[in-house]
Structure 1
Amino acid sequence: MPLLLLASFALTILCAIHVVRSGRPLYWIWLLLIGSYLAVAVYVFVAVLPDLRNDPRSRTAARRVLETVDPERRRRAIRERLELADTTDNRRALAEECLRLGDYGNAAELYASVLKGIYATEPPFMLGLAQAQAGNGDFAAARATLDALIAANPAFRSTDGHLLYARCLEELGEHDAALAEYEVLARSYPGEQARYRYANLLRRRDRAADARAVLQDMLKRARLAPRYYRRKEREWLDAAKRDLGALGSG
Structure 2
Amino acid sequence: MPVLLIASVLLQFVCLVHMARSGRPYWWIWVIMLGSYLGVAVYFFTQILPELRHDPAGRRLVRNVRDRIDPEHQRRRIAQQLDVADTVENRRRLAEESLRLGDYANAAELYRSVLKGIYATDPAFLLGLAESLAGLGDHAGARDTLDALIKANPQFRSDEGHFLYARCLQALGENERALEEYEVLATSYPGEEARLCYGRLLKSLNRPRDARRVFEDMLKRAKVAPKYYRRKEQAHLDAAKQELAELVPATE
Contact kept, 8 Å, 2:167 with 2:178, in 1: the verdict is: yes
For residue 70 of structure 1, report the CA deviation from its aligned partner: 1.4
Alignment coverage as a number of residue pairs: 247
| In the alignment, structure 1 residue 234 sits paired with structure 2 residue 231 | no
Give the structure-2-normalised TM-score: 0.85
Secondary structure of residue in 1 paired with 2:168: helix
Contact kept, 8 Å, 1:219 with 1:237, in 2: the verdict is: yes
| Separation of aligned partners in 1, 2:177 and 2:7 | 63
Aligned twin of 2:23: 24
| Separation of aligned partners in 2, 1:194 and 1:2 | 50
Give the structure-1-normalised TM-score: 0.86
Contact kept, 8 Å, 2:32 with 2:43, in 1: the verdict is: no
Contact kept, 8 Å, 1:166 with 1:178, in 2: the verdict is: yes
| Separation of aligned partners in 1, 2:90 and 2:234 | 33
| Separation of aligned partners in 2, 1:4 and 1:95 | 44
Contact kept, 8 Å, 2:12 with 2:32, in 1: the verdict is: no
Q: Residues 135-167 of structure 1, C-alpha deviation per residue, up to 9 Å, x if partnerless?
A: 111111111111111111111111111111111
For residue 43 of structure 1, report the CA deviation from its aligned partner: 5.4
- Give the alignment of 1:135-146 within 5 angstroms: 135-146=135-146
Q: Which runs of 5+ in 1 are unaligned?
A: none
Give identity over the alignment, percent: 57
Contact kept, 8 Å, 1:95 with 1:111, in 2: the verdict is: yes
- Give the alignment of 1:40-59 within 5 angstroms: 41=40, 44=44, 47-59=47-59
| Separation of aligned partners in 2, 1:195 and 1:102 | 24
| Separation of aligned partners in 2, 1:35 and 1:152 | 62
Aligned twin of 1:127: 127
| Separation of aligned partners in 1, 2:71 and 2:31 | 44
| Separation of aligned partners in 1, 2:23 and 2:151 | 58
| Separation of aligned partners in 2, 1:175 and 1:35 | 63
| Separation of aligned partners in 1, 2:198 and 2:22 | 48
Cα 1:176–1:52, aligned 2, differ >3 Å: closer, same or farther? same
For residue 131 of structure 1, report the CA deviation from its aligned partner: 0.8
Aligned twin of 1:150: 150
- Give the alignment of 1:155-174 within 5 angstroms: 155-174=155-174
Which segments of structure 1 move beyond 6 Å, counting only runs of 4 or more? 1-5
Cα 1:32–1:237, aligned 2, differ >3 Å: closer, same or farther? same
Aligned twin of 1:81: 81
Give the residue type in structure 1 aligned to 2:123: P
Secondary structure of residue in 1 paired with 2:78: helix
Contact kept, 8 Å, 1:203 with 1:211, in 2: the verdict is: yes
Contact kept, 8 Å, 1:12 with 1:32, in 2: the verdict is: no
Give the residue type in structure 1 aligned to 2:159: T
Aligned twin of 2:183: 183
Contact kept, 8 Å, 2:200 with 2:211, in 1: the verdict is: yes
Contact kept, 8 Å, 2:108 with 2:129, in 1: the verdict is: yes
